[in-house]
Amino acid sequence: MGVFEMVTLPAVATDAAAILRSDLAADGDSFVAEVPKWLSDTGSWLIGVPLRIVLIVVVSLLLLAVVHRAIKVVTERVLRGKSHKPVLARTEIGAALLDTATLESPRREQRIRTLGSVLRSTSNILVTGIAVLLVLDELGINIAPLVASAGIVGVALGFGAQSLVKDFLSGVFLLMEDQYGVGDLVQIGDVTGTVESVALRVTRLRDVDGVLWIIRNGEILNVGNKTQGWARASVAIRVPYDANLPIVYEALQQAADDVMEDESLSGAFQSPPTVGGIENMTSQSLTIRVAARTDPAKVWPVTVALRERIREIIDERKIPLAPDVPPGLLA
C-alpha cells in the first residue's frame, strides 16, 4: 500500500462521518420541527371532525325526539277529541281525522295510531338517512357514488317488491280516505264480512260463517261499505194479494213506532222509521217494507227488534201472511 492511499483513506472516512452526522442532524431538526405541526393538525382534526359528527348525531336525535313528540301529541289530542280544529281541518287528512260523528272508537283509534306509526317511520328514515350522509361527508368519504348506488338499489327493489309497495301505498290511502274501518260491514269482491282490522298491507274480514278473510290492500279495486256513516234497518213482509192495506200499513207503523220508543234503542235511530208502499207484487202476494235509518253499530239490533215487534202486532191483529212460494217465482 502506498503512502498516498494511507493518507487518503482516513480522510475519506472522516469526511463521510462528518457528512453522515450533518445529515442526521438535519433530519433530526426537520423531524423536531414537523412534530408540532403534526400534533397541531391532528389536534385540529380530532377537535373538528369528531365534534361535528357528535353535533350531527345530537341534532338528529333532538330532531327525531321533537318530531315524535309532535306526532304523539297530535294523535293523542285527536283521540281525546281535543285537537285544534281550525288548524287540522285545513287539510283533507286532518278533516277526515276530526270527523268523529260517524266513527266508532276502535276504528278511529286504529286509523289514527296507524297513521301516527307511518309518520314516525317516515321521519326515522329521512332524518337517519340525512344524518348518515352528513357523517360520511365529514369523514372525507365521497358520498356521490353511495347516493348513485342507493338509487340503483332502490330501483331494483322497486321492481322486485312492487306488489309489496303497492299494498303499503294502498293501505295508506285506505286509511287517509276512510274508505272503511274496524266494525264496518263491507263487500270486497266476492267476500262480504265485518272488518276486524285494517293494516298497511292487509285487511282482515270476518264473514257470517266465522271465516277470517285476509285481503291484500293492493288487490282491492272496489269496496261496498254498508255501514259507513249510517245504515238502514229494514224488514219486508208478504201479505195476501187481497189484504186490507190500510190495516197492514197501520200495524207496521205501530210496530216501528214501538221499537223507536224502546229505551234501549232510542239513540240508535237517525230518522223516524217509515212504511213504504207496495215494493213487490205477484198474483198471490204483496211485499211491504218497513225501513229506518240507524247508526251503523245498531242496525242489527234494530232489525231484530223490528221483526219481533212486527210478528207480535200481526199476531194480535190477525193479519195473515202470504204463503211461501218456491224461490224464483217472485217478481
Mind listing the pLDDT tens digit of every residue in the chain (331 residues)? 444 444 454 554 555 555 555 554 555 555 445 555 555 555 565 566 778 888 889 999 999 999 999 988 888 887 776 544 455 555 555 555 455 444 455 666 767 777 787 788 888 888 998 898 888 888 888 877 777 777 777 776 666 677 888 888 888 888 778 788 777 888 998 899 988 888 888 899 999 899 999 999 988 888 888 877 788 889 999 999 999 999 999 999 999 999 998 888 878 888 889 998 888 888 889 999 999 998 877 888 999 999 999 999 999 999 999 887 555 444 3
In angstroms, the CA 57 to CA 55 distance is 5
Which residues are paired to 288 by β-bridges? 237, 278
Up-side HSE of residue 71: CA atoms within 13 Å toward CB?
A: 19
- Say whether pTM exceeds 0.85: no
In angstroms, the CA 156 to CA 218 distance is 20
Which class is domain 231-316? alpha beta
CB-based burial label for 74 (10 Å; 0-12, 13-18, 19+)? buried
Grid coordinates 403534526 are at which residue?
38
For the record, the C-alpha cell of 179 comes out as 274508505
For the record, the C-alpha cell of 120 comes out as 314516525
Angle, helix 105-138 to helix 144-160, in steps of 10 degrees: 150
Domain boundaries, the chain: 177-225, 231-316
Report yes or no: 180 and 188 within 8 Å, Cβ to Cβ: no
| Residues contacting residue 170 through CB under 8 Å, at least 6 positions apart | 217, 218, 220
Maximum C-alpha span of the chain: 159
List the strands of the sheet with 274-281, edge to edge. Answer: 231-240, 285-294, 274-281
In angstroms, the CA 140 to CA 131 distance is 15
Residue of 256, 287, 298 whose CA lies nearest to 274: 256
For residue 61, CA distances in Å to 53, 116, 123, 143 come to: 12, 19, 11, 22
For the record, the C-alpha cell of 215 comes out as 285481503
CATH code reported for the domain at 177-225: 2.30.30.60
Q: Where are the alpha helices (DSSP H) in the chain?
A: 3-80, 85-88, 92-98, 105-138, 144-160, 162-177, 245-260, 299-316
